[in-house]
Amino acid sequence: MEAVILAGGMGTRLRKAVIDVPKPMAPVDGKPFLWYLLKWLAEYPVSKIILSIGYMPESIIKYFGDLFLGIPVEYVIEGEPLGTGGGIVLAAGKVSEPDFLVINGDTYFPVDLSKLYSFHTRNGGYITLAVKRMKDFSRYGAVECSDGKIIQFHEKKLCHDGLINGGIYAINRKRILSQHFPEIFSLEKEILEKSAGSGDLRCVIFNDPFLDIGIPEEYHRASDILSKGKEGQR
């Protein structure tokens, strides 16, 4: 497995709590948040990690170098913010396997990556999402699934019981590179929402803890969640 981490965010909403570092480098118990993501990846047979970075890239490269717990680390640098889709396409050029993982660099959702990846390759889909069941949420849009296929994405509103996009994907490299996208685009708007219901998008439901450090109140919970790992479910 090869994994791309989207780590180009500035962390504008975190400015009161975190100053002068990229969002994925926000400190949690003395280590960058991104360190916890890489450590989690190292628990799986990941052969290469590709970091798509943009804001203050030198701070990330200096910290992680070209090897993390024995896993080669490579970088692609966005000269300007490319959006989630643009960042993935840029990084996909360094992927050598037919399918690869993509992980948002500001969320922690420690799912079973082997389960997600094997489901994706076994079913031969374009993109497979890791989704999480949540109750009483309005911060995220809901994902409607049926028999492992994504039917529709719903706009943000109060939802008493539903699924959310966990920000982790298994993607077919050939499919995403063969399409003609603008340099800057959103994976969510240009691919996911437009492909819902086509049979091209699949999902696997996980119940692991979910943390979004882009939201200040969630960032302040990071130490507790990360120290508990999988036991910190909610």
Average pLDDT, consecutive stretches of 10 residues, N- to C-terminus, the chain (234 residues) = 89 57 87 94 97 92 96 94 94 96 94 96 92 88 92 88 93 94 93 90 93 83 73 37
Is residue 108 included in any domain, yes or no? Answer: yes
The CATH number of the domain where 137 resides is what? 3.90.550.10
Is residue 84 included in any domain, yes or no? Answer: yes
pTM for this model (two decimals): 0.90
Phi, psi values for residue 135, rounded to 5°: -120, 145
Is residue 134 included in any domain, yes or no? Answer: yes
For residue 165, give its domain range.
2-229
Question: Which amino acid makes up residue 139?
Answer: R
Look at residue 229 in the predicted model and tell me its pLDDT: 52
Look at residue 230 in the predicted model and tell me its pLDDT: 42
Is residue 195 included in any domain, yes or no? Answer: yes
Question: Which amino acid makes up residue 122?
Answer: R
Look at residue 221 in the predicted model and tell me its pLDDT: 83
Look at residue 231 in the predicted model and tell me its pLDDT: 38
User: What length does the chain have?
Assistant: 234
Look at residue 86 in the predicted model and tell me its pLDDT: 94
